[in-house]
Amino acid sequence: MTDAIALIGSRAVQFVHEVGAVATFSGHILACLLRRPARIRRYLDEVFGLGVLSLIIICISGIAVGAVLGLQGYNTLERFGATDSLGTVVGLSLIRELGPVLTALLTTGRAGSATTAEIGTMSATEQLDGLRMMSIDPVHYVVAPKALAMVTVMPLLSALFIVCGIAGGYLVGVYWGIDPGSYLTGLETSVDFREDVLGSFIKAVVFGILVGLISTYRGFTATPTSEGVSIATTTTVVEASVCILVFDYFITALWGV
Least distance to another protein from the beta carbon of 123, Å? Answer: 11
For another protein, the closer of residues 49 and 109 by Cβ is 49
Least distance to another protein from the beta carbon of 126, Å? Answer: 4
For another protein, the closer of residues 122 and 166 by Cβ is 122
Least distance to another protein from the beta carbon of 145, Å? Answer: 12
For another protein, the closer of residues 11 and 132 by Cβ is 132
Q: Which stretch binds another protein (CB under 8 A): 105-113, 123-131, 185-193, 208-216?
A: 123-131
Side chain identity at 217, as an amino acid letter?
Y
- Residue 227 binds to another protein (criterion: CB under 8 A): no
Q: Residue 76: how many CB atoms within 10 A of its CB?
A: 13
Residues 129-148 that bind another protein (CB under 8 A): 129-137
Q: Residue 77: how many CB atoms within 10 A of its CB?
A: 18
161 contacts 167 by C-beta, under 8 angstroms = no
User: Whole-angstrom Cα distance, residue 72 to residue 45?
Assistant: 40
The DSSP symbol for 85 reads G
Angstrom CA distances, 217 to 86, 117, 142, stand at 42, 11, 12
Q: Which stretch binds another protein (CB under 8 A): 12-20, 127-135, 187-195, 222-230?
A: 127-135
Contacts (Cβ under 8 Å, ≥6 apart) of 36: none
Least distance to another protein from the beta carbon of 107, Å? Answer: 20
For another protein, the closer of residues 129 and 188 by Cβ is 129
* Dihedral over alpha carbons 127, 129, 130, 132 (to 10 degrees): 130
Angstrom CA distances, 10 to 5, 74, 95, 222, stand at 9, 52, 42, 21
For another protein, the closer of residues 114 and 204 by Cβ is 114
Least distance to another protein from the beta carbon of 16, Å? Answer: 20
Least distance to another protein from the beta carbon of 174, Å? Answer: 46
How many residues contact another protein, by CB under 8 A?
13
Least distance to another protein from the beta carbon of 125, Å? Answer: 6
Selected from 10, 76, 125, 226, the binder of another protein by CB under 8 A is 125
Q: Which stretch binds another protein (CB under 8 A): 118-126, 143-151, 224-232, 246-254?
A: 118-126
Selected from 26, 72, 127, 185, the binder of another protein by CB under 8 A is 127
Angstrom CA distances, 114 to 31, 134, 209, 222, 229, stand at 24, 25, 16, 13, 11
DSSP 161-204: HHHHHHHHHHHHHHHTT--HHHHHHHHHHH--IIIIIIHHHHHH
For another protein, the closer of residues 126 and 192 by Cβ is 126
Binding-site ranges for another protein (CB under 8 A): 122, 125-127, 129-137
